[in-house]
Structures are given as structure tokens and as C-alpha cells.
Structure 1
Amino acid sequence: MADTSPLISTADLAARIGDPRLKIVDASWHLDARDGRTEFEAERIPGAVFFDLDAVSDHTTDLPHMLPTAAAFAGATGALGIAEKDTVVVYDSVGLFSAARVWWTFRLMGATDVRVLDGGLPQWRAEGRAVETGTPSVPTPATFTPSMRAGAIADLPSMLSALTGDAQILDARPPTRFRGEAAEPRPGLRSGHMPGALNVPFKSVLTERGGLRRGEDLAAVFRQAGVDMTRPLITSCGSGVTAAVLTLALAELGQYSRLYDGSWAEWGGRAETPVVVGA
């Protein structure tokens, strides 16, 4: 994998299956009643292991799937047979949704070669490629040595500083939630957005088939949303999942960004944080 894109095509992945240093990770997670693990056990890309986004998270907070400690991540990942120098390909069963969050987490924890499967499992199936069914095999444990890149995380103080102009905030939620016209799916959260934030709905960076837009087509999405690529950028969403889709899209354009881990689950749940309703 010599190129710098954070993506890998289905054809390139298929050509590498069987490589002992290749680790395929099903990162499927859903906000609705669908269960990623159940779907993984029913059908998956050959050799894949399942990464449970909720299980591998910080359980000392009531915020959803916050980043785990480096030690906890390393333990969970090692149990899946993955070392930090392996080639890791992450996919999900939607196309491009939760895979981006797990890609970001692996990179944050020090994995050196991580890609997202462009189009995910739907693209893989649409091309008639082989899938596994039935009980998955148990992986051989490995040692993942973490090296956490804490600078890629934006916390609440970072977001408060961003309000003064330190950074541009890109909100990946749908427009109706961003404007406060639709209630948040998590109870107890206020509706609206952070002052000065720009709305870049995560679906706007995707193609009709669920892959990531590329090149000028992708750059135009950010430009039309008013994003200034010369400024520091922070991505946010409802709970830190689809924010990672924007982080992935920016990485495809060669642009660095931080991700607000708490996202609206934290901001919208605090009485002291300012909220804007409307455009």
C-alpha cells in the first residue's frame, strides 16, 4: 500500500486476501435496532474479525463509545490478532459509516497502516465476491503496542477555544438536527449547533453507492459548505461516529483535522455550553 489514500478498493483487498499481515476488521455499528455482531456472524468478508465499538470504549463515562484507554484498546485489539504494524482494512455493513470511526481509532492508537474499504460490505457483495458465513474462527492473539496520538482528539476545552476562532468546527449531523428542527435521537439533549459551526452532513461526502467522493468532487462539498482549508479544523457529530467520516474525507484530500470525541452527546447535554438554533 504505497499510496497515501486512507481508502482501499474492493479489488485491491481481494488481491491481498491470504496475506498473513493483512487483518480485516468488520466495524459495523448502528444507531437503530440492527446488531453489528449478529450481522457479522451471519455474513462477513473472509477472515474478518469483529470490532465492537461500544465494548471497546470508556465505560467510566455515560457518554456513548468514548475512546478507551490505550491499554484497553491494545488488549482488545491484540485479542483480535492484530498488531500495530499489521495492514488493517476496516469496513462496515452500510458502506461508509462506523468504519471511519474505527479507522480513526486505530490510527490514533498508533497503528501504522490502516485503510477503509471503499463501499464496504455492500460494494463487496455487489461485485459477487466471496463471503464467509457461520461461526467465525477464533483469531490467534497478537501483541498491539500502542502509541497514542492524543493531539488528534478535541475535548470540551478545545471546543470552547474554537468558539473564539481558534478552529473551524464541521458538524456532520443532518441539516434538520444541525438547525434544531429535529429532536436528537438521544434523550435529554438540546437541539441546535455550536456557535460558528458549519454543517457538512456526512452523507454529502458520499457517492450514491455509499463510497467516498474523490478529488474535486469531494473538495467541492467542503468549499460549498464554507470550509476554509487553511484554518485548523475540528469535526463533530452526534457521538463521534460520523464526524470520523468527515475526518476520513479530509484525510483523502490531504487535510489534517481533529475529532471532538464527546460531540453533541456531550455539548448538547451540558447546560453551560452555548447552542444556536436556526441556520
Structure 2
Amino acid sequence: MTTATDPLVSTEWLAAHINDSNVKVLDASFKLPGVLPLPKDDYLAAHLPGAVFFDVDAVSDHSNPLPHMYPSAEQFGRDAGQLGISNADTVVLYDSGGWVAAPRAWWMFLAFGHSNVRILNGGLKKWRAEGRSVESGDVKPKPASFKASYDAKRVRSMQQLIANVESRAEQVVDARAAERFEGRAPEPRAGIRSGHIPGARNVPYNQLFDAATGTMKPLDELRAAFVNAGVKLDAPIVTSCGSGVSAGVLTLALYRLGITDTALYDGSWSEWGQEKGPTIATGPA
């Protein structure tokens, strides 16, 4: 991809532009429920200079009992404005370097009409490894005005995926670990069955980045991860995971391969896997 279209930016690029008035940096770190310290506490201890905390759970539909579901366009616009972001800004997202939530937040910005959004390749991990400066404490941004418009094509509902089990019009690619996908390991959320959506393929998201450096793998390795899992890169794709967060890593990797018209299943397994949910499958894909 060209620099103009690649959603990733380097630490060198961000270091050169971090003080630009129209560059807004957001820390979108996230952890599974019960994992301590909380992401916000990690942020308070150390974050990129001037970075504001993007809370995946806060920027969500609070009327929905499922975890961090997409909010309305009106709410997203309000929340983004409170984070100090205007429609004229370049948003740069990062997380701790474990690639969990920055891609989710990136896809949310795209889905709500803001195309000028990037992800820091390697996140905080690479930034600190290079000896670059960090700050502690909370950053209180000056509120801005952000108008959001929702692009429903980028997101899928459970009803759409139930219909897809019959039609197989779209490939479902699940980002969870193989043990969870195959139903051999319990889910981290209580009351959720083990297994996967019938017909889904499995590309564990941690296969797509280098754990040592936190950077995303080269394009040929990304392509091989999907092809080896039986994914047809020239056919429609929906990404899924445990709760619609790490699926964004697959979405990002596909986007970098030039496949920009995928969709993300927002409810993911925390919705599908409920006790009275739809039919599930177990075992390898």
C-alpha cells in the first residue's frame, strides 16, 4: 500500500508530527474483563505525549447489555468531540503493542465517516523500546465539534449472520485462539458456550503481528495467514472474535492487503455464544 492509503504510520512519522495542531493521538488500549491493571490505569502510568484515552467500553451503546457495541452516530460524534477531535483532524490511534483495540477504534472512526485515521505500528511497546518520551497522568483535551455519519456496510448484526449461515454469501473469519474457536477451551465471559459460527474460518489475531516488536507482519505473511486458513481473498469477508474488538486486527490486516470492503460482526461470540443463541459448530474449520 502507499503511504497515503496505508492505515499504519511509523514511530518515526509520529515523532515528527506529534506536535502538529491537527494531529490527535488516542490511546485505545483494552484488556479482557478481570485483567488488571485496568487499561486506564496503564494509560495514567505512561502514555504518548499529549495522548487522550479512548475507552472502548465508554464509546459504546450503553443501552445494549452486550459489551461495547457500536453507539449511534450522534453519540460517537459527541464522544469524539469530547476527546478533542474535529472532522479536520488526523487521528492516530495506538495501544499497548498487543494489537487488541487500536484497530477496533480505527474501524469505528472509518464506519462513522472519518477517513483520516491511522494506527501507530508497534504501539506504545515500540515507542518505548526506541527510548521515546512518555508522560503520566490524565490529559484533558479541549472539546471540539465532530459530526459523525454511520456507514452500515462496515458492520454486521447477528440476524445478518444467521441468514449468512444458510447463504454462505460472506466468509466469516474468527480472530479468537484456535482452542476457543474449536470449543476446546472455555470462554472468558460467563454463560457463553464454546465453539464457532458454522462455516467460519479461524485466523488467530496474534498470528498477524510480531510479539517481540509489536509491529504488524509483512504483507506476504499476512496474506499467507488467511490463505492457509482457507480464506478466499477475492470473496466477501466478515471478521468476528470474542466481542468485536480483536476482529479489527483481521480487518486491518485485510485492509493492508487491499481488501477494504470487509465488515465486522459487532456482537461477535459474546452474542452468538449465549445459551439461547444460534447453532454453533465445534472442532477445526
Pairing 1:260–2:262 present:
no
Aligned to 2:201: 198
Per-residue Cα deviation, 1:189-213 (whole angstroms, up to 9, x for no partner): 1111111100000011112322211
Pairing 1:216–2:198 present:
no
Structure 2 unaligned segments of length 5 or more: list them.
none
Aligned to 2:232: 228
Q: Which residue of 136, 139, 142 corresponds with 2:138? A: 136
Per-residue Cα deviation, 1:137-196 (whole angstroms, up to 9, x for no partner): 421110001121111001112211221211000000000000000000001111111111
Percent identical among aligned pairs is 47
Contact 1:84 1:112 in 2 (8 A): no
SS of corresponding position for 1:90: strand
Q: Distance in 2 between matches of 1:204 and 1:6?
A: 19
Q: Distance in 1 between matches of 2:117 and 2:98?
A: 17
Equivalent residue runs for 1:43-58 within 5 Å:
43-58=46-61
Aligned to 2:25: 24
How many residue pairs match? The answer is 278
So what's the TM-score if we normalise by structure 2? 0.94
Per-residue Cα deviation, 1:75-103 (whole angstroms, up to 9, x for no partner): 11101110123100000113411111111
Equivalent residue runs for 1:136-155 within 5 Å:
136-155=138-157
Equivalent residue runs for 1:1-279 within 5 Å:
3-31=4-32, 32-133=35-136, 135-163=137-165, 164-208=167-211, 209-255=213-259, 256-279=261-284
Contact 2:74 2:148 in 1 (8 A): yes
Contact 1:95 1:211 in 2 (8 A): no
Per-residue Cα deviation, 1:44-72 (whole angstroms, up to 9, x for no partner): 10111011111111111110000111111
Name which of structure 1's ranges 209-218 and 167-176 shifts more when overlaid on structure 2: 209-218
Contact 2:176 2:203 in 1 (8 A): yes
SS of corresponding position for 2:173: strand
So what's the TM-score if we normalise by structure 1? 0.96
SS of corresponding position for 1:34: coil
Q: Distance in 2 between matches of 1:155 and 1:84?
A: 27
> How large is the Cα RMSD of the aligned pairs?
1.3
